[in-house]
Amino acid sequence: MMEKRRIGPFNATALTLGCMNLSHAYGTPPGREAAEALLRRALEAGVDFFDTAALYGFGSNESLVGAVLKPHRQHITLASKCGMTGVDGKKVIDGRPETILRTCEESLTRLGTDVIDLYYLHRRDFQVPIEESVGALARLVEQGKVRTIGLSEVSAATLRRAHAEHPITAVQSEYSLWTRNPEIGVLDACRELGAAFVAFSPLARGFLTGNLTDPATQLEPKDIRCQMPRFEPENYARNLKLLDDYKAIAIETGCTPAQLGLAWLLAQGDNIFALFGTKSIDHLDENLGADGLKLPPETISRLDDLINQTTVSGARYSPAIQSEIDTEDY
């Protein structure tokens, strides 16, 4: 049995599968057969918490996930997101109540389910008061179409405003050794309000696996990392210098670099979930090998000193993308 943690009314695996990679953003997605095989392997291994969104593949990811998970629906926690979708082939942030209600109906159809366990507002729409967007999500709860509500990429202040409108079960944002933004305020706010924190990109978008040594040649042109400052040649060259000591700690610990990064994250609090994504069954199995791995306090301290917001080179996002999110920034 894999380790489980409490998220609202659910007990779900602390190692959580993010399904975006199977349809969206990280270069050419795998074929349908390979994607389905990866999802089935996750189920076989014991994963029972799966995350998708209306945006991913502009709906195709929800259709994929729904088709594979439908026979197991009563035994899994299913999360999806609204508020950021594809319109005419372009990403659009739209948190208006009418859009949220419509998107939910579309997602339910694609997912082949009557209810979504955890439904996030994918991005805050700065043109719409957060109370109005959360109010629409609350109506979905009243209608029985959504069981619990989450927020993605929000600040502590926005979380508190939203929680005053309706209880927030979880916040999803990027968190890893090299992205510490949640430590500014959101982690404390989650603990204060009793919300879980679901950390996406816990392996620093592949950096902490140790396998990505040359983004210029290893990444496809349409990979979202090509637009991220940390992956620009000069910054990445500096960041790579951190990996030798990091890999040495993994060897001392008796685990792979990926497992070390996941174990560090899960050690940050018992309300934290590690939401990782992959296209590879081998990498899936490797990541799941972090289940139950407990790091000594001195190892955690060494990792904190080695990779953090002051030792990593490059901003998390480009200025254009940073302007779309509500998270605190260093």
Out of 26, 56, 236, 317, the active site residue is 56
* Catalytic residue list contains 175: no
As a whole number of angstroms, the distance between CA 168 and CA 162 comes to 7
As a whole number of angstroms, the distance between CA 114 and CA 143 comes to 11
Residues of the chain with pLDDT under 50: none
Angle between helices 257-266 and 281-288 (to 10 degrees): 50
pTM comes to: 0.98
Report residue 171: phi and psi, to 5°: -115, 135
The answer to whether 167 touches 145, Cβ cutoff 8 Å, is no
Q: Which CATH architecture has domain 4-206+256-294?
A: Alpha-Beta Barrel (3.20)
Query: Where do we find the tokens 């209880």?
Result: 167
The H or E element spanning position 63 is: helix 60-69
Residue 171 is predicted with a pLDDT of: 98
As a whole number of angstroms, the distance between CA 24 and CA 116 comes to 21
Residue 89 is predicted with a pLDDT of: 85
Mapping DSSP to helix (H, G, I), strand (E, B) and coil, where does residue 135 land?
helix
Q: Which of 183, 194, 121, 191 is nearest to 158 (CA)?
A: 121
The H or E element spanning position 248 is: helix 243-253
Q: Provide long-range contacts, Cβ within 8 A and 24+ apart, for 281-286.
A: 281/37, 281/38, 281/41, 283/209, 283/258, 284/17, 284/38, 284/41, 284/42, 284/45, 285/41, 285/45, 286/256, 286/258, 286/259
Query: Cβ–Cβ contacts within 10 Å for residue 53, how many?
Result: 28
Q: Which of 13, 24, 62 is nearest to 220 (CA)?
A: 24
